[in-house]
Amino acid sequence: MNTRLYNAKILTMEKERPVFEGELWIKNEKIAGVIPREELEREKAEGMLPEIRWDIQMDCGGNLLMPGFKDAHTHSAMTFLRSYADDLPLDRWLNEKIFPMEAKLKADDIYELTRLAVLEYLSGGITSIFDMYVDPGAVAGACIETGMRCVLMPGLNNSVSSPKRVEEEYIRWNGRHPLISYRLGFHAEYTCSEEILRAVAELAHRHRAGVYMHLAETAGEVEGCRERHGTTPAVYLDSLGMFAHGGGGFHCVHMMPEDVEVFRRRGLYVITNPASNLKLASGIAPIAEYERQKIPVAIGTDGPASNNRLDMFREMYLTAVLCKVKENDAAALSAERVLRMATVHGAEAMGLKEADILAKGKYADVILIDLHKPNMQPRNNLIGSLVYSAERSNVRMTMINGSILYRNGEYFVGENPEKIYERCNEILKRMLSE
């Protein structure tokens, strides 16, 4: 399959490369060329332009092609809990509302609920997700069926899964399907026994793999870890050998200096989730401090139950402006840095280094941003407009692995979205009656 995307502005997200006009050529699932207009005109004049039989040619209308967003922390199947447990603090939210409902889930439910989330990802320009949930296999099935690139990780805790099952899933899903990979992890320190945590650390050593978890999301979590283990979460986990081969933490709102030092020394990723942290009143992550310490930061939405929207535009905006408020400095974090967090750093944190930028040989995970809407005019600073002005309605097209899955409001996922909505509402109705 040969695809030509032409008459476009292109933002490759390569360092120091400005936006330029040109074309993107795609062969099957990979990018075959990212070609500036001047180069095309020169090769055409010299008779050097290759003759290619195109299966798809799309006029981009002067709009912007760029890498898709990487949602580096989510729980897709929690779509069924959207606005089910609003306006509660995290501990009550989890224990009184979320965990009891999740106990009623079946594998088929998770499959359908994840498909609903994928529709939201696609219409918002998200091309990869880092998904933690209780049944990674059901999530993988939904993503394969709809074409979503997904990095799986387990929701391992004292009640869900086991280190043995995690290792089986790790071996099963890595290398099995081009859209699916798997990372080691667990839910959080406060939901896992030390026996489980030591077993996960052993897995990390055995497979030379990074480990990911919810970390320092609330002040209460940090204080509880001090009471249990005499130290803070990152320091405690590091003492077990958890981070010998990297990894990262989701949220990282209440990190102490010694935790930050663990992340710096171990090369760990912070994955920030500002909308969720605000809604649950967890706090504001110290992003500027992570930047000062050269700790890479990626961005995630968290799940639809704690956020309500799977929207990376909102997450980018909040990441930027909350950092400015926390630092009392409007220049604390630039739009370019935030956009890099939502694309390149997310890909790196998820182990998707072949899907980080637009370049020859990379996966064709591409989105088209409408620049002709009033919120993108006038064009003073395109990067600034992407972070501070753009919204999901600006997404005209989402392509993953060379396949167009969303375009101009229409989904190409193999099924009418209304059927997916209907089944998800039936699942919720059944669970509420049980």
For 67-80, how does the pLDDT look when each residue is reduced to its tens digit (9 = 90+)? 999 999 999 999 99
pLDDT at 173: 97
Return the CATH class of domain 69-349: alpha beta
Q: What's the predicted TM-score (pTM) here?
A: 0.97
Angstrom distances, CA of residue 272 to CA of 208, 302, 320: 25, 9, 11
Nearest residue to 98 (alpha-carbon basis) of 42, 155, 60, 139? 155
pLDDT tens digits, one per residue of 109-125: 999 999 999 999 999 99
Give yes or no for residue 171 having a pLDDT over 90: yes
Give yes or no for residue 142 having a pLDDT over 90: yes
366-369 vs 395-400, strand pairing mode? antiparallel
Q: What fold does the segment set 2-67+360-411 form as a domain?
A: Urease, subunit C; domain 1 (2.30.40)
Give yes or no for residue 88 having a pLDDT over 90: no
Give yes or no for residue 90 having a pLDDT over 90: no
Q: Which residues pair with 299 in a beta bridge?
A: 272
Section 210-221 average pLDDT: 97
How many other C-beta atoms can be found within 10 angstroms of the C-beta atom of residue 155?
Answer: 22
Range of lowest pLDDT (86-100, 168-182, 226-240):
86-100
Q: How confident is the model at residue 381 (pLDDT cuts 50, 70, 90)?
A: very high
Give yes or no for residue 49 having a pLDDT over 90: no
What are the structural domain ranges in the chain? Answer: 2-67+360-411, 69-349
Give yes or no for residue 45 having a pLDDT over 90: no
Share of the chain above pLDDT 90, in %: 93
Nearest residue to 217 (alpha-carbon basis) of 160, 255, 267, 186? 255
Which residues, 6+ apart, have CB-to-CB distance to 177 below 8 Å?
A: 140, 144
To 5 degrees, how large is the angle CA 391–CA 394–CA 398?
A: 110
Nearest residue to 113 (alpha-carbon basis) of 93, 87, 133, 99? 133
Angstrom distances, CA of residue 289 to CA of 105, 264, 293: 39, 11, 6
Give yes or no for residue 48 having a pLDDT over 90: no
Angstrom distances, CA of residue 295 to CA of 71, 170, 330: 18, 26, 21
Nearest residue to 12 (alpha-carbon basis) of 358, 336, 343? 358
pLDDT at 216: 98
| Helix, strand, coil abundance in the chain, percent, nearest 5 | 45, 20, 35
Section 348-365 average pLDDT: 98
User: Are the C-beta atoms of 338 and 319 separated by less than 8 Å?
Assistant: yes
The span from the CA of 274 to the CA of 283, in Å, is: 8
